[in-house]
Structures are given as C-alpha cells and as structure tokens.
Amino acid sequence: MDIGIYMKNCIRCGKALPKANDWLCKECKEHIKSIDKTIKKFHKLSDKERENIVKMSSEEFLDYCKKDFFELTNEEYDVYAVKSYNENKEKSNDQYNCSICNNKLYVQDLIWDNEKNIFVVDHRQCECRKVRISLQLIKKSGLERTIRDYTFDKFTTKEKWQKEIKEKALDFVENGIKQEKWFMLSGNSGSGKSHCCTAIVRELLYKAIPCRYMVWDSEITELNAIVNDPIFATRMNELKKIDVLYIDDLFKPVSLNIKPTQGELKRAKDIIDYRYRNKLTTIISTEISIEDICAIDEAIGGRIYEMCKDYYIHISGTDKNYRLR
C-alpha cells in the first residue's frame, strides 16, 4: 500500500521510477554528477557579491546558482534553507502580522565567516516580539479599549496650558522614565488628565514596559472588601511591584468634608511607600492638588511630590472642563 512516503516519479524530470524508493531517475543522477557543483565558490566572491546573495530571495538564489533545488551543494543548500525559513509564513495568534519574521518570532541571518570561508547561520529574536509582548500587556493593563482613543496625536493643544501638559508628558516618556521619576496631573475634571496619562502608558506599553491601570476608588473598595482573604496580598503585590502603575483619580471622591477612610489611607501608604523605596515608576491623576494630599497625609504627599516634582502640573480654573464644551 502506498502511503505517500515513496516517490513514483523522478522529482527532477517527472519520469516514472523503476524503484519506488528512488528520488531521481538514472539520467538525472548522471546529470547531477556531471555538472559543476558550484558555479563559483562563495569564498572566491567579493564582499559585494556575498552581500547581494544575502539579499536574494530563495527563488533568486536558485536562478543565481543556475540549478534546480536538488542539484544544490551542501554549501548552497544551507544558504537556500535560511532563505526558505525566513520566507515561510505562519499564522498569527494575536492579529499582528510581521513582514520580517512572518510570525515565527525568530529570524535567521546569513553571516560570512572569514576563518571558515563559509556562510554561517545566526538565529535572533525578531523585533516584533516586543510588539507582541506589548499587545499582551495592553490587555492585562485594563486599558485595552481606552488606549485606542487616548493618544498624544488626539490630545487637544489649542491652548497654552494644554501644550505645556503634552510637552511635559512627552519629555517624561523620553527622559523621565529613564531617571526613575514619577508623573502627576491634578485639577479639574474634564481637563484631559486621564487622556494624557493614558497616552503616556500607551507609549510605554509599546516599548514593552509592563504597566498596570488602577481606578483608585473601585480598586480600593475591592481591596478593603477582601482584606482578610488570602488573595489580598496577591492583589496588593500586583499594584506595588508592577514596573509602571497608573493610578487614576487618586483619593476620589474627596473634598474638604469627605476624607479618605483609615483603610484607604493604609492601602495608599503601602502602595506609595513600596514604589517610592523601590523607585518604581508611578503615574497619577487626581482632582486634588499635591498640597491637598499633604494635608490628608504628609508622608504620602511628601513622597509623591519628591518623585514627581519635575513632572507635576496642577490644572486650575473653572474653564478647563472640555467635556462641557
């Protein structure tokens, strides 16, 4: 029974084979033996010629060698195999298609070895790996939907104070993160604080930096409800130890008459103090000023100000709410 393992025809010319376990007919075997195995040895080529070989596709390389696939020497086949590997396309598992590695996550490079006088193969991770990690991080961050709309390009800069916020945020992404600084925007609701902070997180995620989004009020309420549960420590560690934590609406709702509960203050101290001592990047938006935070708890306010004083803007004035325009 033929199960497809043995060839019935010559793989070069298609002629019927007398033996099922042969690959080539007699004439083709003689032809392969008689041809010059290598048109020109690779070590005899100039650097420019070898550079051109590296740039060739698999089909272009076969044309260059003036041979069929099965006529290639071992040296030629190694080069052909690298090109075939890189050209082979695989299905993407995350809807991101990479034209460099064709969704394999790895690329093979041909590098000329002057000592051995041959092409050697170097395996490297494709740059798209960082993008794919970022896509996973975006899903885990809690900002998957918001991040599509809250970009720096879409941040309104019609007025001077808006331009100042955007410039400060872009500088933070470029320089502040490297200096282990924090970023904070405080002030009126609807002034673009969340938009700007989310745009910062977006840029960091696309650099494959793990980020976590925390809506202060809802997250603290959930934590206070499970304080005696074993999962509490796990949830707190996620907030304390993530590379970048974005706290949205810190201490909301708070006014002169409504103060944070003791439980809320304790969670804030634990999170802020840990991240302060370990120099972990923290991004904060809040409707109250740093002075108000210091009035609530001087230790918390002092640590936040020390870390974000170079990247802190308070938005004041009753005309800054763009949701009402």
DSSP notation for 42-61? GGGS-HHHHHHHHH--HHHH
Burial track 246-275 (b if 16+ CB lie within 10 A, e otherwise): bbbbbbbebeeeeebeeebbebbeebbeeb
At 323, is the pLDDT very low, low, confident or very high (cuts 50, 70, 90)? very low
For the stretch 73-76, contacts whose Cβ atoms lie closer than 8 Å and that sit 24 or more positions apart, written own/partner, are: 73/37, 73/38, 75/38, 75/41, 75/42, 75/118, 75/119, 76/38
At 55, is the pLDDT very low, low, confident or very high (cuts 50, 70, 90)? very high
Which residues, 6+ apart, have CB-to-CB distance to 157 below 8 Å? 163, 166
The predicted-structure confidence for 114-140, as pLDDT tens digits, reads as follows: 888 888 899 999 888 877 877 777 777
Query: Are the CB atoms for 190 and 321 separated by under 8 Å?
Result: yes
Q: What count of residues does the chain have?
A: 325
Name the CATH topology of 131-324. Answer: Rossmann fold (3.40.50)
Please say if the pLDDT value at position 236 is more than 80. Answer: yes
Angle at which helices 128-141 and 193-205 cross, to 10°: 140
Mean pLDDT of 226-254: 90
Which residues make beta-bridge pairs with 285?
A: 185, 248
66: left (phi over 0), alpha (psi -120 to 50) or beta: left
Which residues, 6+ apart, have CB-to-CB distance to 154 below 8 Å? 195
pLDDT value of residue 231: 93
pTM over 0.85: no
- Structural Rg of the chain based on CA atoms: 31
**Using omega within 30 degrees of 0 as the cis cutoff, is the peptide bond preceding 253 cis?**
yes
pLDDT value of residue 69: 76
Spatial CA neighbour of 314 closest among 161, 132, 203: 161
Give percent of the chain with pLDDT exceeding 90.
42
pLDDT value of residue 30: 75
pLDDT value of residue 191: 79
Domain with CATH 3.40.50.300 in the chain: 131-324
pLDDT value of residue 278: 96
DSSP state of 17: P
Which residues make beta-bridge pairs with 248?
A: 215, 285
What integer best gives the mean pLDDT of the chain?
Answer: 84
Q: How many whole angstroms separate alpha carbon 283 and alpha carbon 121? A: 44
CA 123 to chain centre: 20
Determine the residue type at 46: S
Please say if the pLDDT value at position 38 is more than 80. Answer: no
Please say if the pLDDT value at position 2 is more than 80. Answer: no
Please say if the pLDDT value at position 162 is more than 80. Answer: yes
pLDDT value of residue 178: 92
Please say if the pLDDT value at position 213 is more than 60. Answer: yes
Please say if the pLDDT value at position 12 is more than 90. Answer: no
